[in-house]
Amino acid sequence: MSMSIFCVSLTLVLSIFSGTDGYFYHMMRQCRYSSKDLQGIELITSYVFNQAEYIRFNSTVGKYVGYTEYGVKNAEAWNKGPELAGELGELERVCKHNAPIDYSAILDKTVEPHVRLSSVAPPSGRHPAMLICSRNGS
Ligand SMILES: *[C@@H]1O[C@H](CO)[C@@H](O)[C@H](O)[C@H]1NC(C)=O
């Protein structure tokens, strides 16, 4: 299997509105798989306000990293608190636990698309040629 990334878990989307366009806060949790045997599995949890990611947990790194002053402060606190164990628990409980389910329910049931391109005689004399592209026989 080629190296690919599948995002299977989007756990929390919370929005804070202000004015017509509003500001958006969201947290996104991704399980990233690079092989079926769970080698290199990675949990990424991102905290984003107004399109700026200010904290990220990366299970390969094993801790939170802050990207703004506020993010750095929170990352420091969360790395010492129960949040860190919570993230590592998510890796086991969600990412590793769900992998075989996602593989058998989704990945193993997908097929490579079959594409056929054919040249046919155009119906009128206006076009010099006509190509028909069909996918999966339909
Ligand atoms: C997580 O950290 C590892 C090790 O630094 C890095 O190789 C990987 O790209 C990071 N993943 C993301 C999505 O940032």
Summarize pLDDT for 18-75 with one digit per residue, the tens.
456 788 999 999 999 998 888 999 999 999 999 999 999 999 999 999 999 999 999 9
Instruction: Report the chain's C-alpha Rg in angstroms.
Output: 23
Instruction: Name the percent of the chain in helix, strand, coil, to the closest 5.
Output: 30, 35, 40
**Which residues are CB-contacts of 116 (< 8 A; sequence separation ≥ 6)?**
133, 134, 135, 137
Out of 29, 48, 58, 63, mutate this one to test ligand 1's pocket (max ligand atoms within 8 Å of CB): namely: 58
Strands 115-120, 12-16: pairing is unpaired
Count up the domains in the chain and report the number.
1
Is residue 44 lining ligand 1, measured as CB closer than 6 Å?
Answer: yes
| Of residues 68, 64, 99, the one with CA closest to residue 82 | 64
Residue reference for tokens 């969201």:
26
What is the CB neighbour count within 10 angstroms for residue 136?
10
Would 137 be classed as within a structural domain?
no
pTM of the model: 0.70
Would 2 be classed as within a structural domain?
no
Would 132 be classed as within a structural domain?
no
Question: Where in the sequence is the domain holding 107, given as residue range(s)?
Answer: 8-112
Q: Measure 108 CA to ligand 1 centroid, in angstroms.
A: 27
Would 51 be classed as within a structural domain?
yes
- Range of lowest pLDDT (3-12, 13-22, 100-109): 3-12
What's the CATH number where 90 sits? 3.10.320.10
